[in-house]
Structure 1
Amino acid sequence: MSTVVAALFAPHHAGAHATTTQPAVVTTDNETPILYDDEAGGNASGDDPAIWVHPADSRKSLVIVTAKEGGLRVYDAGSRELQSLPATEAPRADAAAGRYNNVDIAYGISLSGRRVDVAVVSDRYNDQLRFFVIDPAGTAARTPLTEVTAPDQSFLFNPDREAVDEERTAYGLAIWQPRPGETYAVVTQEGTTTVATARIVESGGGLGYTGVQRLSMPSSFPLPDGTTWVPCEEPGVLPQLEGVAVDQASGVLYAAQEDVGLWRLQLPLGSGSRPTLVDRVKDFGIHDVYDDETEECQPVDPKAKGYGGNLLTADAEGVDIYYGPRSTGYVLVSSQGDDRFAVYERQGRNRPLGSFLVKGVGGVDDINGSDGLAVTNRPVDGYRQGLLVTHDEPETGPDVDADRDATNFSYVSWGAVARAMGLTVDTRAGNDPRFP
């Protein structure tokens, strides 16, 4: 077996050490208002959340989510909507109305002589980043978010507007803050395997970015049987990555390649480190062909077993990190294909620990097909043992119009997850490198 194949199929990458393939079950009774992806609903389709933790009063913490063409929504810990921001035109000469895909929080950025916390957003229709200062009053603010994007920022992945309009543009996003005064965005590109980093800088009284670096992740994979596996996609599309998260203490990037699995890569890009495939989706290695008529991929051999793990069912989507003491904690991944959430150790080789699913109670529906997620070990208002927020699609229930595309976000107590899976709860601020 070649070195490359051996690295891909070493036992600690296979998910085989998870204690059980049966998911734990946790419950939630808290979800945000329904978003509808149609003209009447402002074409709002929920996708990705971020949690801003107030430094002194957890009751003032915010949950900020993307709604694609519907812009941004801001909620409190009780899932009450505090602000709705439209996906406006980017501040550029060739502007288009935005499509906000992913969001993350940058803490303590310098702007106009003060330190501010910022919601950073990927804008697919303008292939760039957008920046929104967070009012330090949090839930008590009249307008929690205010845009401060500097004008005429460069495209992240494309040479010109004509290329941008092909929509191979900014997609997944995470913030990396390796040291005080230095902040980067890690961004993936829709429909390709490219990952980029860009340094966030002050520009003309606003925020922009510079120094874009790019790296292409693998798109084909050698298998133990001597064949090469290429994940089946639409013609002209490569197996894209979306969900990304950076361990702020180690600089390790975790990236979910939707039809492949979970990667680990040491930042900065170009440092010489090779990406490691932590875990593989269940149908990894099954050869498919694309059917133009049905626009679906079908297995060449319906009986093929493949070489996948047992925790991720494509698509592998949202990723975030629960910080425990020192290097401990957990990496969480949305297993969209089976409505579950996979959990891996943060330290070492990211040993898989199992998965859980979320059932709704008290009139709240189960979480289906989750895309983005966010987790914090810090108390957030009534969530005294930490908070997990996750996308839910489709949103279901008696109050949902079944003829419309409905999404929203659900809040889950980390304490409930920890009890169900035998995980750690440690709410000390010092665990999270973002909070000195």
Structure 2
Amino acid sequence: MRRTAALAVVVPLALALTLAPPAAGAPRPHAPAVVTTENETPVLYDDDEGGNASGDDPAIWVHPTHSDRSIVIVTAKEGGLRVYDLGSEELQSLAAEPAPRADGVDGRYNNVDIAYGLRVGGRTVDVAVVSDRYNDQLRFFTIDPAGSRAATPLREVTAPEQDFLFSPDRETVEEEQTAYGVAVWQPRKGETYAVVTQEGATTVATVRLTPRPNGTVGYTDIEHLTMPGSFPLPGGGTWVPCEEPGVGPQLEGVAVDQRSDVLFATQEDVGLWRIPLPLGSGAPRLVDKVADFGVRDTYDEESEECVPVDPDQPGLGGPNLVADAEGVDVYYGRGRVGYVIVSSQGDDRFAVYSTLGHNRPLGTFRIAGDGVDGINGSDGLAVTNRVVGDYREGLLVTHDEPETGPDVDPERDATNFSYVDWGRVADALGLQVSTNPGNDPRLR
């Protein structure tokens, strides 16, 4: 069944733009902390020889009893999926094969998240949920309970003939304003949803995942929410972020705080949003803005870039994010404490916010390499508070582009992913470490 509710934003723009007031005594912005990584995955190359593999977004699956058997699943766009162990060795490479539909074409896998405890084909399994841009739908892969010990950790179980998420027909899909970012929302036992953003537009969708008796997984109940694409400015006037013609200020990174049923979403040229779930149940709130929020640009056809109308015009945003705001995930601490981690792609930093109250910023950090290269231009990221093998205080995994180093061909478009000990981030910013599995409602 396809049920589309066009929940066009009814939030007044002035309200949508409201920022969280700074907490009393909140520290002033300062130089980012620096943490290190020495563990990175093999390089991916986005060319014919490399299988057009361009890394984008990771997800961490933690083995419930043997944490050293945990795996990291990443998207490689036209290159499909890769599965790595905790030593960043490749365990499996899955091609982006045509979607199981009469009009299916080869996939382009953009983002990935994990749905826990689905009843599929008579057994309870965890499922990797993947957005497929070229087919405007979700794809589903069961995770072998053996994790890194499995011969084939992932197996596709996508039900055939799933509805397009944002397009009325295949012809519209070809315009590629399709499924982009994805996050799983599990508000209660037996209910699992996915939240999906749309490339090149401001629309967010939710769908309910529906495991089938034949061992496949599909979805129903598509609902849409249209987020703002223009914003009021102090003193009057309206600001519209500059994009190429026909493209809106898109959202990509999404993560759900399962404790509070709140979606955190990054609108790349705007900032970080807090959106109550279900969609339409409350007013979205802009938590933080990118530094050049409000700067008027114009699109230059020759360079295919946005250039400032006035190079000296100051931005109205904060100090924590420089466009694009990209990957986002939630770390579950003790009690109600939690953190939202966001990649500030424009200046190779990561910003951290509290999940509580008005989501005040808690600091920023960079990731430097120790025997490997540092992190540049991060797209997606994932974090877990769980003990994961030798990562005794939790794990952060982040995309890196461009990947550099002595063994990387500088003439090719190279990407990969790096693993960072959460304890190093926590020490650098004075954050909490709590590895209790009960912190994450999905794992109880």
Mark yes or no: TM-score above 0.5: yes
Q: Which residue of 2 aligns with 1:371?
A: 379
**CA shift for structure 1 position 291:** 1.0
Whether 2:323 is the aligned partner of 1:317: answer no
Gaps in structure 1 of 5+ consecutive residues: none
Tell me, in whole angstroms, the C-alpha distance in 2 between the residues paired with 1:16 and 1:23: 19
After TM superposition, list the pairs within 5 Å mapping 1:324-339 onto structure 2: 324-339=333-348
| Residue matched to 1:361 | 370
Report the alpha carbon displacement of residue 20 of structure 1 after superposing the two structures with TM. 2.6
| 1:142 partner amino acid | A
The aligned runs of 1:155-170 (5 Å cut-off) are: 155-170=164-179
Q: Which residue of 1 aligns with 2:6?
A: none
2:67 corresponding residue in structure 1? 58
Q: CA deviation at 1:292?
A: 1.1
Q: Give the equivalent residue in structure 1 for 2:402.
A: 394
Output the CA distance in 2 between the equivalents of 1:186 and 1:111: 20
TM-score, length-scaled by structure 2: 0.95
**From 418, 428, 432, the counterpart of 2:440:** 432
Q: Note the alpha carbon deviations across 1:229-268, whole angstroms, 9 max, x for none.
A: 0000001100000000001111100000000000001100
Letter in 2 for 1:269: L
Deviation (angstroms), 1:435: 1.2
How far has the Cα of 1:325 moved from its partner? 1.6
Aligned to 1:236: 246
Q: Aligned AA for 1:370? A: S
Separation in structure 2 between the aligned mates of residue 343 and residue 429 of structure 1, nearest angstrom: 21
Name the counterpart of 1:403.
Answer: 411
Q: AA paired with 1:268? A: P
Counterpart amino acid of residue 142 in structure 2: V
Matches within 5 A, 1:33-432: 33-203=42-212, 204-271=214-281, 273-362=282-371, 364-432=372-440
* Cα distance in 2, alignment partners of residues 232 and 357 from structure 1: 27
**Superposition deviation, residue 15 in structure 1:** 13
- Answer whether contact 1:15 1:279 (CA < 8 A) is retained: no
Aligned-partner Cα distance in 2 for 1:182–1:175: 11
1:158 Cα deviation after fit: 0.4
- Give me the whole-angstrom Cα distance separating, in 2, the residues matched to 1:274 and 1:21: 31
User: In 2, Cα distance between the equivalents of 1:102 and 1:13?
Assistant: 32
Where 2:93 maps in the other structure, the secondary structure is strand
Q: Shift of residue 4 of structure 1?
A: 4.8
Residue 224 of structure 1 aligns to which amino acid in structure 2?
A: P
Contact preservation (8 Å) 1:13, 1:278 = no
Q: Distance in 2 between matches of 1:180 and 1:397?
A: 46
Answer yes or no: is the 8 Å Cα contact 2:187–2:261 preserved in 1: yes
Q: Which moved more, 1:197-206 or 1:10-19?
A: 10-19
1:80 Cα shift? 0.6
- The secondary structure found in structure 2 opposite 1:197 is strand
Distance in 2 (alpha carbons) for counterparts of 1:10 and 1:45? 35
Distance 1:39 1:16 in 2: 54
- Mapped partners of 1:268, 1:38: distance in 2: 40
Consecutive aligned runs of 4 or more in structure 1 exceeding 3 Å deviation: 3-7, 13-19
Q: Distance in 1 between matches of 2:62 and 2:81?
A: 18
1:192 to 1:7, Cα distance in 2 relative to 1, 3 A? closer
The superposition leaves residues 140-177 of structure 1 with CA deviations (integer Å, 9 ceiling, x where unpaired) of 10000000001111101101111101101000000000
Query: Which whole-Å CA distance do the structure 1 matches of 2:175 and 2:24 have between them?
Result: 37
Q: TM-score, normalised by structure 1?
A: 0.97
CA distance in 1, matches of 2:310, 2:27: 28
Question: 1:186/1:6 Cα in 2 relative to 1: closer, same or farther (>3 Å)?
Answer: closer
Deviation at 1:17, TM superposition (A): 4.2
Q: Name the CA distance, whole Å, in 2 between partners of 1:295 and 1:18.
A: 39
Letter of the aligned partner of 2:437 in structure 1?
Answer: A
* Residues 135 and 145 of structure 1: CA distance in aligned 2, closer, same or farther (over 3 Å): same
User: Is the 1:15–1:280 contact (alpha carbons within 8 Å) kept by the matching residues of 2?
Assistant: no
1:258 partner amino acid: E
CA distance in 1, matches of 2:248, 2:13: 20
Q: Which moves more between the two structures, 52-61 or 3-12?
A: 3-12
State the 1:354 CA deviation.
1.1
Which residue identity is paired with 1:112?
Answer: G
Match of 1:44, as an amino acid? A
| Counterparts in 2 of 1:16 and 1:278: CA distance versus 1, 3 Å | farther
Aligned position for 2:5: none
Residues of 1 paired with 2:253 and 2:72: CA distance?
18
Distance 1:279 1:17, change over 3 A: farther
1:207-239 deviation digits (Å, cap 9, x = unpaired): 000000000000000011211000000011000
- SS of alignment partner, residue 59 of structure 1: helix
**Post-superposition CA distance 1:103-124 (Å, at most 9, x none):** 0000001111211100000000
Q: CA deviation at 1:8?
A: 2.7
- The offset of 1:36, in angstroms, is 0.2
Instruction: Report if aligned partners of 2:204, 2:227 keep a CA contact under 8 Å in 1.
Output: yes
Q: Distance in 1 between matches of 2:25 and 2:50?
A: 44
Structure 1 pair 7/205, CA: closer, same or farther in 2 (3 Å)? closer
Query: Where does structure 2 lack aligned partners over 5 or more consecutive residues?
Result: 1-11
- State the identity %: 71
Between 1:293-302 and 1:133-142, the stretch displaced more is: 293-302
Give 1:13 deviation, angstroms: 7.0
